[in-house]
Amino acid sequence: MSKKLVLTAVLLILTTVLSGPVLADNISIVNPSFESTAGPLNFPCGTGCAFNYGPVPGIPGWSSSDGGSWMPGSYFSSLPDGSLVAFANAQSSLTQTLTGTSVLANSLYTFSVYVGDRTDGINGNYSLSLDTILGGVTTTLCNVSGNASSIARGTFQLESCSYLSASSFPSGNLYLQLTALSGQLDVDDLSLTVQPASTVPEPSSVLLLGVGIAFLAAMFMMRKRREVLLTA
């Protein structure tokens, strides 16, 4: 009888594990690590440090009224990816419309951005959002905000937000918006993923797995105890 119970528990656990989440799909972002530049970094800022600035030449794939591409040199101890980052000055944004990519029903979207705090501490408040845009009007799907002073000086920290769509959702193209609310915003290595909501594990599934493991452990201990009594 105990063997049948153990077998049932094993099958239950295997079913829970095999029905777990699948890998999310990456949504294409143009120049997500800002390694492509539209022109030379013709403004020097120290040893190994240079940047470009303004709407022209700008950053390929991105729009910005007051920002640009930057090779930060010693302002950061290391970068998340490559040798360049993007920056936006106070009250300006870096934006990108993902043309032809709209929200899918019943899907989980995760938007991630590395945010930095320069060694000289001039970075400030920021807002990072995944939106939709239709007819020039944006609708926020998810947003994460903060102050770079909470990040270790001279390093980057990963910030993320998620949006779970239902059967009805905002229309339009997906739209990325990275805004410097005060000081400067420095960002690198963006990513956007999507996966069907049905593959996101529910808390009940995790609880079921835990109960199954506990049951197996209890059955194993009872069987060992019975073996000891029989051999005594």
Distances from the Cα of 141 to the Cα of 111, 144, 171, 178, 219, angstroms = 10, 11, 11, 14, 47
Q: How confident is the model at residue 5 (pLDDT cuts 50, 70, 90)?
A: very low
Burial 71-103 (b: 16+ CB within 10 A, else e): bbeebbeebbeeebbbbbbeebbbbbbbeebeb
Mean pLDDT of 79-84: 98
Write out pLDDT tens, residues 89-120.
Answer: 999 999 999 999 999 999 999 999 999 999 99
CA distance 51 to 56: 12
Higher pLDDT, 202 or 148: 148
Give the pLDDT confidence score for residue 96 in this predicted structure: 98
Q: Is the alpha carbon torsion for 65, 67, 68, 69 positive or negative?
A: negative
Cβ within 8 Å of residue 227, ≥6 positions away: none
Write out pLDDT tens, residues 156-207.
Answer: 999 999 999 999 999 999 999 999 999 999 999 999 999 999 875 655 444 4
Beta-carbon count within 10 A of 149 CB: 12
Write out pLDDT tens, residues 36-81.
Answer: 999 999 999 999 999 999 888 889 999 999 999 999 999 999 999 9
CATH number for the segment(s) 28-199: 2.60.120.260
Q: How confident is the model at residue 150 (pLDDT cuts 50, 70, 90)?
A: very high
Beta-ladder partners of 25:
194
CA distance 88 to 178: 8
Give the pLDDT confidence score for residue 57 in this predicted structure: 85
Beta strand residue intervals within 91-229, DSSP E: 92-102, 107-117, 125-134, 137-147, 155-164, 173-180, 184-196
Give the pLDDT confidence score for residue 23 in this predicted structure: 72
Give the pLDDT confidence score for residue 74 in this predicted structure: 97
Higher pLDDT, 224 or 207: 224
Beta-ladder partners of 130:
142, 176
Cβ within 8 Å of residue 17, ≥6 positions away: 209
Give the pLDDT confidence score for residue 118 in this predicted structure: 98
CA distance 167 to 181: 34
pLDDT tops 80 at residue 144: yes
Distances from the Cα of 198 to the Cα of 62, 67, 201, angstroms = 33, 40, 8
Higher pLDDT, 220 or 154: 154
Asked whether 57 and 38 are in contact (CB, 8 A), the reply is yes
Give the pLDDT confidence score for residue 14 in this predicted structure: 44
